């Protein structure tokens, strides 16, 4: 059994390995992961069992809507945020968006 106290060589080695591996993934690696997830999702959506369940879900929703069963969603009133607060939020998001676009102009991933 391994001992994980603070002086353990195993713990020190594990922490060193984590530090060495804690870096950005290469752009191609991220693209490969994204492609693998995409292929997996496409396989799921092509599956006959999924199509059948999805179709049944659509039929159930239409039936419920026709019979007036689903209750409408009750949203919280938006009047709790004042106009000056909305302007502050808008200014912040506009600046953040501008900064994001200028950083992406350099082709960073």
CA distances, 13 to each of 5, 19, 20, 21, 42 (Å): 13, 10, 11, 12, 41
Please report how many Cα atoms fall inside a 13 Å half-sphere around the Cα of residue 18, on the Cβ side. Answer: 6
Q: What is the pLDDT, as a whole number, of residue 109?
A: 46
* pLDDT by 10-residue block (mean), the chain, 109 residues: 58 70 78 94 91 92 85 76 89 80 54
Label each residue of the chain as H, E or C: CCCCCCCCHHHHHHHHHHHHHCCCCCHHHHHHHHHHHHHHHHHHHHCHHHHHHHHHHHHHHHHHHHCCCCCCCCCCCHHHCCHHHHHHHHHHHHHHHHHHHHHHCCCCC
């Amino acid at each position: 059994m391994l001992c994980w106290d603070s002086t353990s060589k195993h713990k020190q080695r594990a922490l060193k390995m984590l530090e060495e591996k804690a870096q950005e993934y290469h752009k191609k690696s991220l693209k490969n992961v994204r492609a693998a997830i995409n292929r997996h999702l496409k396989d799921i959506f092509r599956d006959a069992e999924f199509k059948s369940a999805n179709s049944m879900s659509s039929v159930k929703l239409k039936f419920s809507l026709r019979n007036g069963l689903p209750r409408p969603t009750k949203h919280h009133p938006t009047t709790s945020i004042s106009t000056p607060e909305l302007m502050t939020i808008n200014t912040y998001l506009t600046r953040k968006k501008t900064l994001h676009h200028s950083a992406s102009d350099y082709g960073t991933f």
